[in-house]
Structure 1
């Protein structure tokens, strides 16, 4: 799991556009606590082949490491200096306009969006003919992308790259690179996950079933609504489609109000990942 750093260091060191390690690792840990025993064995068996990925800089030996692998490999380059995984950049998000009716099709053209890739990875894991290397990659991508989908600013935006263009101060912390997207990626996720009892536990069967209901598109719509009604609304004084200033400030009272929604999104992400892993591997 992510070591806790002084928050200012943590904010400056983490990459933009990622659901930082702690969020992704927690989603993976919740899932592994709630999969069937046979699924857990299958996950570990597949990840035992992680050397096939040829990314020693970015290990995927455990589900928690695999959860962050897709972000870790983004800067890796081949011998010609080209990004090895550049083709996957658009797979981490789907910028569905929160100020228009929900419609995945424009954001998922040719399958280049997070929800389409989740479905693709499940299909690859189900198929016994999938080569070993492709299966390891599909598993690592799936674990990561379910986390991404449950970070609401990966699911909905208002033409600002998922909030990356909306500058933000988080309480007293306001480094130059900080924006509303990185608030949800980092310090808000950390506060939500660590508020209250541990999210990483075995949940009752009824809770697993209830949280895991629906399709990937249903979950996309839910996360899109969270982006509109919580992330943008809290940042813009209640009107998510109102004008965006150059920079906003999330004070502690505002953060306290949105922590429960952020916490629940992480929990649902873990339980839904468990469901998908069970479907693909049991």
Structure 2
């Protein structure tokens, strides 16, 4: 038993020292966002989701199951391991908007290849009951996952070509070698979500119903702009005195005091992601929205 614990600890530390994570927002962030949403959606929406998930075999991805909303939330990362079959979706997980310029999605979202555009596309597809089940189920998984990605600030921002902090060397507490993206994707996220009160219930308990209604407002672009601003002020701003000063530091450090200060920021991002995902799912599936809101369907060609 002792040997197992030391082996597990060694493996965990080895994983933490990798230069970048295998999964975006890692599993815990996505699964918790999805769980929050499922606690908030309307009954008809939940039933529609469960019906789709029961047909997950049509995805033909046995190594990447989607039997539950939590599995579906990480399915778009899991399929990255399947090679060329889904390689077209790589750029859909992020939008690198420079923090030291004005917020503008025109270039990062060229041809719809960014997370904001793909959230809108996925929502339209989930809502379209004329589509094959396979297409709608894939769209559901993408929608759940991409809303999570949008609320991880470093999936919506970068500085000086650093690929959302992936190129920024960093230390995190006692972990000497990682990068800024990995910290926010997993290390800080897992610490924040597991902090008391932990998990989806704990995170929701910190947001009053009237606050949830307010957080659900806005457009996908509004939410992307918000994450971008948080990236500048809280992500880069927490470890760099002036994020836009030149030259950028070769390495940054996140100490325990900074980690403690950022835990509420991360928890609120997860809450926002779940609350807003619930709204998008209700718009698509509760039967009262013939047209989803983000954006309206493109006009049919005559």
Specify the alignment match of 1:267 in structure 2: 271
Structure 1 residues 280, 144: closer, same or farther in 2, change over 3 A? same
> Contact (CA 8 Å) 2:91, 2:114: kept in 1 or not?
yes
Shift of 1:255: 1.1
Shift of 1:131: 1.1
Q: Deviations over 1:65-90 (max 9, x none)?
A: 0000000010203xxxxx11110000
How far apart in 1 are the matches of 2:248 and 2:98?
14
> Contact (CA 8 Å) 1:199, 1:267: kept in 2 or not?
no
Shift of 1:15: 3.1
Which stretch shifts more, 137-146 or 257-266?
257-266
How far apart in 2 are the matches of 1:224 and 1:157?
9
Specify the alignment match of 1:80 in structure 2: none
- The match for 2:13 among 8, 11, 17 is 8
Specify the alignment match of 1:162 in structure 2: 164
Superposed, 1:190-269 pairs within 5 Å as 190-201=190-201, 205-236=209-240, 238-242=241-245, 243-269=247-273
Specify the alignment match of 2:56 in structure 1: 50
**What 5-or-longer segments of structure 2 have no aligned partner?**
1-7, 287-302
**What 5-or-longer segments of structure 1 have no aligned partner?**
78-82
How far apart in 2 are the matches of 1:12 and 1:47?
35
Shift of 1:47: 1.0
Structure 1 residues 140, 122: closer, same or farther in 2, change over 3 A? same
> Contact (CA 8 Å) 1:17, 1:181: kept in 2 or not?
no
> Contact (CA 8 Å) 1:16, 1:182: kept in 2 or not?
no
Superposed, 1:1-282 pairs within 5 Å as 6=9, 7-12=12-17, 15-16=21-22, 18-77=24-83, 83-158=84-159, 159-175=161-177, 178-201=178-201, 205-236=209-240, 238-242=241-245, 243-282=247-286
How far apart in 1 are the matches of 2:190 and 2:284?
29
Shift of 1:198: 3.5
Q: Deviations over 1:43-82 (max 9, x none)?
A: 11111111111110010100000000000010203xxxxx
How far apart in 2 are the matches of 1:205 and 1:62?
26
How far apart in 1 are the matches of 2:244 and 2:56?
44
How far apart in 1 are the matches of 2:255 and 2:22?
21
> Contact (CA 8 Å) 1:17, 1:182: kept in 2 or not?
no
Structure 1 residues 234, 205: closer, same or farther in 2, change over 3 A? closer
How far apart in 2 are the matches of 1:277 and 1:221?
21
Shift of 1:271: 0.6
Structure 1 residues 18, 261: closer, same or farther in 2, change over 3 A? same
How far apart in 1 are the matches of 2:198 and 2:81?
33
Q: Using structure 1 for the length normalisation, give the TM-score.
A: 0.91
How far apart in 1 are the matches of 2:172 and 2:210?
36
- Secondary structure at 1:90 match in 2: helix
